[in-house]
Amino acid sequence: MRSNIAAAINAAHAGVEAAKREGARYAVECGRLLVEAKDTVPHGGWDAWLRLNTTVSPRTAQLYMRIARHVEGDPAKAQRVAGLTVREAATEAAGAPRSKAARKPLSPDDEASLAELNQIWARIGSHPEVKEMFAREIYRRGDITREQRDNIIKAAYRDPTIDAAGRRAAGQRLLEMMKRELPPGAMADLKSVGPALAHVTGEDLGIAIGDALEKRRAAGA
């Protein structure tokens, strides 16, 4: 009974993997048709034509067309790309090395450590302050860039129900409150948001405040 279940699981998983590998082939075909269609649409009307006639978003259409143009006129390249996932094909079409090919294989111990880290990360999902602390620590160690650190922190606190305009509006409300409540000169500590204050979000201000607190703690150490 167990062996039958295991075989069925393996067969289903193989089907998933095979389906992924079919993705790029269909992306090439869809991209080729999209290129043909776009040539018939008046300038400026492409996005509207897509919405009215297809289920493909403009962004996805752009991706498919880029992949199709990448293999156009090169049968060998088309055959190779047909064995990739859509993501891998898109990466190749962009001219960057595929991450799987570039990635150095991890040892079994490192793979186990990575899996454990992923589990820990999932468990602390409801505690964004822990993720922020982790991001700041690995940034201090030089393992990630400042931009990567900020992206991790923003993702930890971001409410998916609030759009970019809402985040900017919240940032402006917070900024006005800080100007009213903080002592004179305190705003000078928020140098990391600098001249972008007119477009700052609450997340940006939170990161800037954290940077200012870190600087003060370091100065007092």
Q: What is the pLDDT of residue 33?
A: 92
Q: What is the pLDDT of residue 41?
A: 87
Contacts from 142-151 at CB under 8 Å and sequence distance 24+? 150/207
* Torsion sign over Cα 105, 108, 110, 113: positive
pLDDT in tens, 172-191: 787 777 777 767 666 666 65
64 in Cβ contact with 34 (< 8 Å): yes
Of residues 190, 189, 218, the one with CA closest to residue 202: 190
Q: What is the pLDDT of residue 99?
A: 45
Segments of the chain scoring below 70 in pLDDT: 1-3, 5-6, 9, 95-126, 160, 182, 184-200, 220-221
The predicted model scores a pTM of 0.41
